[in-house]
Copies of this chain bind each other. A is one copy, B any other.
Amino acid sequence: MDYKEQLIAFFKDVDARCILGLSIDCVIFGFYDNQLKVLLLRWKQSDEWGLPGGFIYKKESVDVAAQRILEERTGIKELFLQQFHTFGEEVRYNRAEISRKLNWPDNSTRLWPDRTVSIGYFALVDFMKVTPTADFLTDEYRWLDVEKLPPLLFDHNHIIEVALKTLRVQLSWQPVGYNLLPEKFTMPELQRLYETILNRPLDPRNFSKKMRALGIIERLEEQRKGGAFKSPYLFRFDKEKYKKALQEGHLSFS
């Protein structure tokens, strides 16, 4: 089968096995090179980028479907995916436009329903531990800087915006850095992560004071070697205190 035949077979299979009019999109965030990045795919034989997503089987919970879809499309297993918002605007795509942009045969989106509501899930991953592999619909995966995204297919720019907003809110009551940073990190790296998510500069002294007052990170004896400047100390999250902070939320009324 060539790609076009594969596509038609795929949509027929979706039509037979899946709930119609409902999809899942996954926003996978990673932090690397002082940038917050999101995992995007380039659709086969096109220059179009989008989020990994897919459809829910008729007999499958949406949470299970999200895990399966992410694994099928990227090879990434057992990630903590969090549902954050359902996207139900009346018009989220134009079938003819999608077919044209993706160089699909004219009748390939024929089976698509008039509209599709999409349930958004997101995850924060340690960039170094995740290596996505492309499925048959995808030419390649790339981690793109959330601050410099190209126009994506469907409403995927909007979906990423809402995921980022959710992340910003969660930052105010839970220490999200734990999943995004490597085990050991410097204070400037942690600050840069917070600045990226909040999208504004923070004062280094106040930040350091605040983070240490939360009591969820500990300073190690090791220092980061090799830079041009004074070697900065390394820190890591205190897993027990981190868990406790998560359970309590930030504002404790004990």
Residues of A within 8 A of B (CB): 19-22, 56, 58-63, 65, 83, 85-86, 88-90, 114-115, 117, 119, 168-169, 171-173, 194, 198, 202-203, 206-207, 210, 249-251, 253-254
C-alpha spacing A85/B166, complex, angstroms? 13
C-alpha spacing A250/B114, complex, angstroms? 42
Chain B residue nearest to A92 in the complex (CB) = B61
Show 20 residue pairs from A and B whose CB-CB distance is below 8 angstroms, ordered by the A residue.
A19-B21, A20-B20, A21-B21, A56-B88, A58-B114, A62-B88, A62-B89, A62-B117, A65-B88, A86-B86, A88-B119, A169-B173, A172-B173, A173-B173, A198-B253, A203-B254, A206-B253, A207-B253, A210-B251, A250-B250
Residue from A62, A90, A119, A203 having most chain B Cβ neighbours under 10 A: A90
B115 with A90: CB separation less than 8 A: no
Least Cβ–Cβ distance between A161 and chain B, in angstroms = 15
A86 with B89: CB separation less than 8 A: no
A173 with B251: CB separation less than 8 A: yes
This protein's copies in its complex: 2
C-alpha spacing A85/B61, complex, angstroms? 14
Least Cβ–Cβ distance between A205 and chain B, in angstroms = 12
B117 with A19: CB separation less than 8 A: yes
